[in-house]
Structure formats: C-alpha cells, structure tokens
Amino acid sequence: MSYYDIDAILTDAEKIPCTFQLDVPDLGYLDNNPTHALKTGTKIALPLWLAEMLAIANTGGGDEDGGKSFINFDLPAALSNDVVQALKADPRAVPLRDQSAHFYGLATRMMDLSDERELGDVLRKSFVTRASEIALHARKGAGGSGHHKGDDKGAGSNLGVGASGEEFLRGLDEWERRLFRKAHDGTKAGKEWMEGVKRH
C-alpha cells in the first residue's frame, strides 16, 4: 500500500461506529450539539483514520486502570453479522459494492485492529469463490465472436453475461474490479494474439 494509493486513501475515509470512553470538551459539534461537551458513551461514526488513532492511543491518566483508550469501536455495518451470514450462505449472491466500495480493504484494516479470525475465514472463502466467477465473466465478456463450446454455463454466447451477470459485476468491490480488469486484459491479449498469428 503506497502513500499515493487512491484506494487506500478512500478506505481511510470509510466511517466506522465508535463510542467515546470519556468526556471531551468542545467536541460537541461532532454530535450536532455544539454548545455542550461530548459526553462519555456518545456513539458517533468516525472515519477510519481518526478512529484508528483514537483507539490505539490511550489517555495516559489513571495509573490504576493503566489508562484507557479514547474510544471503543464496533465493526461497521458493511461487516455486520447479516453480511457475514449472507457471505457464508452464498458469496456470489452478495453485492459487496452496496456494503462498501472498498469492502475488502476496509475488512483487512478492521482485522488489523482487532482479532476477527472467523471473519478472515469467511472473507477468504468468498474472495476465492467470487474470483472464479469473475474470471468466467471476464472471459465471456472478452469473447466477442466466440467459441463457447467448453463454457460450463452452456450459455453459447455473450448473452450469458446478461441480467444476472451484470448484476454480479455491478456488485464487485474495488479489489474485485481490479481482478476483473486483469483477467479481462489477459483474455483480450490472448484473443488478439490468436487472431494475429496468421499475419506473422
């Protein structure tokens, strides 16, 4: 992840729900209440870059409890139990982009912050399953006047991408889009070469 990676920057801007662990004076405007201090226990959605800092840093005060962190954070709605259960049931049926355009990026950042072993397993499974579906669509999309005898969908033409395929492709998050582009470029280059053999 480089400094100039636009996807990393956008992932940083994703909001996650946080709960403040202490009173903060003059920050009330975050809670639409500019005249008062921010109370302990207020729930606010903060961008990931800020929440990360506040969660890691601790107040330093109070030797007996070792200093507590400014906020506690929960998993964002994109990674909520509903979504994870849906992914477990059928990874292909979930439009990840509706949850977050940087779904996997957000998920990896959250897993860095807290230990979510089960989430990691589910995500790996869905990423891999969706990847082979992506490759199928990439190959079909690049097919043109194709030879589709071997295609396991038996669609026979590009029409196989049709309604459900488009739906699926619209639901890809940024990682998967990049994967789709790579698979598509490979297939396209292969096709171009295949057509150019005669001319050499």
Residues that bind another protein (CB under 8 A): 104, 107-108, 111-112, 115-117, 120-121, 123-125, 127-129, 131-132, 135-136, 138-139, 147-152, 175, 178-179, 182-183, 185-187, 189-190, 192-194, 196-198, 200
User: What SS3 class is residue 18?
Assistant: strand
Instruction: Pick between residue 46 and residue 176 the one whose CB is nearest to another protein.
Output: 176
Closest approach of another protein to the CB of residue 105, in Å: 9
Least Å distance, CB 176 to another protein, is: 8
Sheet holding 71-73, edge to edge: 43-47, 15-20, 71-73
Q: Which is nearer to another protein, 20 or 139 (CB)?
A: 139
**What are the φ/ψ torsions at residue 168 (nearest 5 degrees)?**
-65, -45
Give the closest residue to 70 by CA, choosing from 17, 32, 13, 18: 18
Closest distance of CB 136 from another protein, Å: 6
Give the residue from 87, 115, 112 showing the smallest Cα distance to 99: 87
CB of 199 to another protein, least distance (A): 9
Residues 6+ apart with CB under 8 A from 35: 28
